[in-house]
Structure 1
Amino acid sequence: MNTNPNLIKKIENGSQVGQRVSFLMDGEICWTSVGLQKWNGKYKVYIDEILESKMNSEEYQREEVINFDLLDNALEFIENNTHVKVFDLIPCKGQRIFNPDFD
């Protein structure tokens, strides 16, 4: 997997990176947020997915936090199990995607 060395450095320094995108799920627009942050020696990956029609009621299709010991495993998981590609991850400025204190 080809990753940006500057992105890896930011992750290793504890910065949160992520991306929010939409995609079609069974013909309906679905929004997903994917975040990654090194926190207390682990790499936390946050993923949520919500249909646009369910946003007002906040009924998520998927919402989870997964911990990894190795950054490569976290990046591979994002690449293979989300609608976000690793090369699309960017540092979060201002509002973060998730709070790493909570699981």
Structure 2
Amino acid sequence: MATLRLGDIAPDFEQLSTEGPIRFHEWLGDQWGVLFSHPADFTPVCTTELGTTAKLKEDFARRNTKVIALSVDPVESHHRWVSDINDTQNTEVNFPIIADADR
């Protein structure tokens, strides 16, 4: 099994997201990236984590860093979840959430 370490180049992939199809390396460009995953949409802890991350947009931007999330549910569910996150966390989700329904 391959191991990724800090500073390694992550493998490229293409997947659907809340912002349309994402080709990871193209989307990331020459910026740093934070890719974080969640077990499912609408879980309470994940909802607060994504809301808090959205509120840190300017901090990530100052550090030349883009954020992208991953959850095992389909894009349609992600869109409903984003609305829930925005409402319950008083923010606007400002990064894509990748769909991984087939895991």
TM range (shorter): under 0.3
Give the number of the structure whose residues are more often strand, by fraction: 1
Question: Comparing both chains, which one has the higher relative contact order based on Cα–Cα distances under 8 Å and sequence gaps of 6 or more?
Answer: 2
